[in-house]
């Protein structure tokens, strides 16, 4: 067999394995999170018209599409090699299909001028559709932002909570067991993250789009610690922080945001009050930067029995610094 044909065959075998693993992983996630087998129906391999496909709308899963340059490179790859991994879709009417997995594949195919795309059409209720749409991205896509993960986690938790808790499913009656198998704990266990990470990611989905984009695209202007504090404000109040973060050359820091929070407690804050608090915090920070360094002095007599053992002040300074660093770790 020619080498080119051999490589093509291997690629297609790997693609078939990945295709199977997408649904297998999704259904495993469903079983682990919903604590029952996924309602798997019939599936069909076919080519679907691109104009019959609609983006996933059952829940806001928050995944950002590929940037233009990456999408163009993917489109060129499709034109050269074809599509090895089918998209996954479900029928929503007689001639329309909702994309569950493969939004970037569809966008690249359209860019390549295709009219049809290989697909696996599956029967799926809303809960299974959400699990397929989120789990394939959470597991396979590298470099997802914390906000993208947050929307995916939230969609899964909402689906689980809509399902409700049935004690007869797990034969659990105690509050301790219900806590053990809470929706957040089940999602955290399957995806190998902590419940704290899930809570933090979901909280950041409360940011308005302008702040989300700053956090994801320019984290020097708005870091996670600041974003976490700002997310406690309502959407209208957050607009003041957009203006602050957009000041050229200025980087918001946690101390400044904490000062604003102390003067303008969330969830609602007047825009003018936020700016007044920000100006005061910024002025105080600038004064600290301009102030001459403070010197630390000791009563040498009190420390003489210990200091006499050291040959220079630099050695004493180094020892004192190491002591403070160790104390900071403990506290």
pLDDT in tens, 277-308: 999 998 887 777 676 777 777 677 777 777 77
Which range of residues forms the domain containing residue 314? 300-330
Query: Within a domain: residue 295?
Result: no
Closest CA to 83 of 133, 20, 15, 9: 15
Instruction: Say if 32 falls within a structural domain.
Output: yes
For the chain, the domain total comes to 3
Residues 153, 222: Cα–Cα separation, whole Å: 23
Task: Say yes or no: 171 and 217 in one domain.
Answer: no
Enumerate the H helices of 164-253 as residue ranges.
167-170, 175-180, 183-191, 195-204, 209-217, 224-230, 235-245
Say how far apart CA 90 and CA 43 lie, in whole Å.
9
pLDDT digits (tens, 9 = 90+) for 6-48: 445 444 444 444 555 788 889 999 999 998 898 887 789 999 9
Position 285 in a domain:
yes
What pTM did the predictor assign?
0.76
Summarised one tens digit per residue, pLDDT across range 186-232 is 999 999 999 999 999 999 999 999 999 999 988 888 999 999 999 99
Residue 199 is predicted with a pLDDT of 95
pLDDT digits (tens, 9 = 90+) for 235-271: 999 999 999 998 877 888 999 999 999 999 999 999 9
146-178 burial, b for 16+ CB within 10 Å, e for fewer? bbbbbbbbbbbbebbeeeeeeeeeeebeeeeee
Q: Do 65 and 157 fall into the same domain? A: yes
What is the percent of the chain with per-residue pLDDT over 90, rounded to a whole number?
56
Work out the mean pLDDT of the chain and round it to a whole number: 85
Q: Decide which of 162, 196, 230 is a domain's last residue.
A: 196
Looking at the structure, tell me whether residues 139 and 169 fall in a common domain: yes
Q: Is residue 264 part of a domain?
A: yes
Instruction: Look at 128-137, 161-170, 281-290 and tell me which has the smallest mean pLDDT.
Output: 161-170
Question: Is 311 inside any structural domain?
Answer: yes
Assigned token pair, 27? 């259904």
**Per-residue pLDDT at 126:** 93
Q: Tokens 């104009």 map to which residue?
A: 51
The pLDDT of residue 179 is 45
137 shares a domain with 112: yes
Q: Which of 166, 196, 226 is the last residue of a domain?
A: 196
Cβ-contact 154, 123 below 8 angstroms: no
């Amino acid at each position: 067999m020619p080498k080119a044909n051999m490589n093509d065959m291997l690629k297609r075998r790997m693609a078939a394995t990945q295709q199977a693993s997408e649904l297998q992983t999704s259904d495993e996630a469903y079983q682990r999170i919903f604590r029952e087998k996924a309602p798997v129906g019939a599936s069909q391999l076919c080519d679907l018209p691109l104009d019959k496909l609609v983006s996933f709308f059952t829940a806001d899963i928050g995944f950002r599409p590929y940037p233009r340059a990456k999408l163009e490179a993917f489109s060129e790859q499709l034109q050269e090699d074809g599509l090895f991994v089918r998209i996954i879709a479900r029928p929503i009417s007689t001639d329309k299909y909702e994309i569950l997995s493969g939004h970037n594949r569809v966008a690249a195919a359209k860019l390549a001028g295709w009219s049809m795309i290989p697909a696996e059409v599956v029967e799926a209720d809303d809960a299974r559709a959400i699990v397929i749409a989120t789990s394939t991205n959470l597991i396979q896509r590298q470099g997802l932002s914390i906000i993208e993960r947050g929307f995916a986690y939230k969609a899964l938790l909402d689906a689980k909570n809509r399902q409700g808790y049935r004690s007869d499913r797990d034969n659990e009656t105690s509050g301790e067991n219900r806590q053990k198998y809470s929706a957040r704990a089940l999602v955290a266990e399957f995806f190998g993250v902590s419940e704290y990470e899930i809570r933090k990611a979901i909280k950041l989905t409360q940011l308005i789009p302008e702040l989300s984009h700053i956090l994801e695209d320019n984290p020097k202007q708005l870091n996670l610690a600041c974003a976490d504090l700002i997310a406690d404000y309502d959407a209208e109040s957050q607009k003041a922080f957009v203006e602050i973060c957009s000041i050229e050359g200025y980087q918001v820091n946690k101390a400044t945001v904490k000062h604003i929070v102390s003067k303008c407690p969330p969830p609602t804050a007047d825009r003018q009050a936020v700016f007044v608090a920000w100006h005061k915090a910024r002025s105080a920070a600038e004064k600290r930067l301009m102030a001459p360094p403070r010197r630390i002095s000791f009563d040498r007599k009190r420390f003489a029995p210990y200091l006499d053992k050291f040959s220079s002040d630099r050695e004493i300074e180094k020892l004192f610094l190491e002591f403070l660093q160790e104390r900071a770790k403990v506290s």
